Amino acid sequence: EVQLVESGGGLVQPGGSLRLSCAASGFTFSIYAMSWVRQAPGKGLEWVSGFSGSGSGGSTYYADSVKGRFTISRDDSKNTLYLQLNSLRAEDTALYYCAKDLGSSWPVYYFDYWGQGTLVTVSS
Amino acid sequence: QSALTQPASVSGSPGQSITISCTGTSSDVGGYNYVSWYQQHPGKAPKFIIYDVTNRPSGVSNRFSGSKSGNTASLTISGLQAEDEADYYCSSYTGSSSYVVFGGGTKLTVL
C-alpha cells in the first residue's frame, strides 16, 4: 500500500523558514517523480514544486510564486522528499501535500497518491 | 484567480448526470491532451480520477468520464450517488514556466 506521510509544518513568522518532509513507503520511491501541492484554507489546489525520478538527472521544477524561495530535494536512501521554505510570506499559509507522480523519471504532473498534508501558517 | 476556470458549484439529484466544465487557453487545456481531474471530500486529500483527458485510473468507477473540446475540458458523473458529493478540481499541463495549473474547484451537491 502506498503511503505518504508529511511532517514539519507549523507556525512561523513572516520572513522565517521551515523544512517539510514526506516519508514514502509501499512503492519504489527512487524511480518516481514527486511533487508538493498546497491548498490555502478554503481555497483550491496549487502545484508548488516537483523533483524528477532517478535516471533523469535530478531535475527540479518550481511554480513562479515560490521560485527562489523554496527548494525541493529528495533522499532516495531514506525514501523521503523534502521542501525547504525560506522567506515565508502570509500568502504561503496552506496545507502542503506531498504527491506521487504517475510517471517514472520525468514528471507527467498526474498525482496518483497524496499524503494527508502538513499545515504551514505564516503569521506574526 | 486560478489559471483554469470552473463553475463554483453544481448540483444534481441521485441517479442523474452532471457535467463540470474546466476552461483554459490554447497554452494549457487547448494545447495539450494532459488534463486530469481530482475529487476531494471535506478534510481529505484529493483523489486522482481522470488523466489524459479521458482515462480512468484503476479502481475508479466508470460513472466518471472526461472529455475535451477546444480550450474546455469536462468531467461527467453519471448515476449520481450521495458519496459523489465533494469538490472537484481539473488540472492541465501548461507549456509555460508554471508547468501545471489547477482550476479553482467545483463543489458538487447531491440533492
Most distant CA atoms of chain B, gap in Å: 42
Percent of chain A with pLDDT over 90: 90
Which amino acid, one-letter code, is at B107? K
State yes or no: pLDDT of B1 exceeds 80: no
State yes or no: pLDDT of A107 exceeds 90: no
User: Would you state the pLDDT for residue A86?
Assistant: 98
**Range in A16-30, A53-67, B26-40 the model is least confident about:** A53-67
Most distant CA atoms of chain A, gap in Å: 43
CA dihedral angle for residue A91, residue B105, residue A45, residue B89, rounded to 10 degrees: -170
Q: Could you tell me which chain B residue has the CA closest to the CA of A112?
A: B48
pLDDT bucket at A93, cuts 50 / 70 / 90: very high
Q: Do residue B99 and residue A110 have CB atoms under 8 angstroms apart?
A: no
pLDDT bucket at B90, cuts 50 / 70 / 90: very high
CB within 8 Å of B97: residues ≥ 6 apart: A64
Within 10 A of B85 (CB to CB), how many other CB atoms are there?
16
CB of A5 within 8 Å of a chain B CB? The answer is no
User: Would you state the pLDDT for residue B100?
Assistant: 93
Q: What is the DSSP letter of A106?
A: S
CB of A45 within 8 Å of a chain B CB? The answer is yes
DSSP string, B69-95: ETTEEEEEE-S--GGG-EEEEEEEE-S
Within 10 A of B21 (CB to CB), how many other CB atoms are there?
17
- Nearest CA to B76 out of B63, B90, B93, B88 is that of B63
Range A9-38 average pLDDT: 97
State yes or no: pLDDT of B97 exceeds 80: no
Q: Do residue A109 and residue B46 have CB atoms under 8 angstroms apart?
A: no
State yes or no: pLDDT of A100 exceeds 90: yes
Taking only the tens place, the pLDDT of each residue in A70-87 is 999 999 999 999 999 999
CA A98/CA A51 separation, integer angstroms: 11
State yes or no: pLDDT of A40 exceeds 90: yes
Please give, rounded to a whole number of angstroms, the shortest distance from the CA of B22 to a CA of chain A. 14
Judge contact between A34 and A6, C-beta under 8 A: no
SS3 A31: helix
State yes or no: pLDDT of A56 exceeds 80: no
- Cβ contacts of B44-48, under 8 Å, gap ≥ 24: B45/A97, B45/A114, B45/A115, B45/A116, B45/A117, B46/A37, B46/A45, B46/A97, B46/A111, B46/A114, B46/B89, B47/A114, B48/A102, B48/A110, B48/A111, B48/A112, B48/A113
B79: cell is 448515476
Asked whether the CA dihedral B67, B103, A22, A80 is positive or negative, the reply is positive
User: Would you state the pLDDT for residue B72?
Assistant: 98
Please give, rounded to a whole number of angstroms, the shortest distance from the CA of A123 to a CA of chain B. 22
pLDDT bucket at B89, cuts 50 / 70 / 90: very high
User: Would you state the pLDDT for residue B2?
Assistant: 65
Q: Could you tell me which chain A residue has the CA closest to the CA of B87?
A: A44
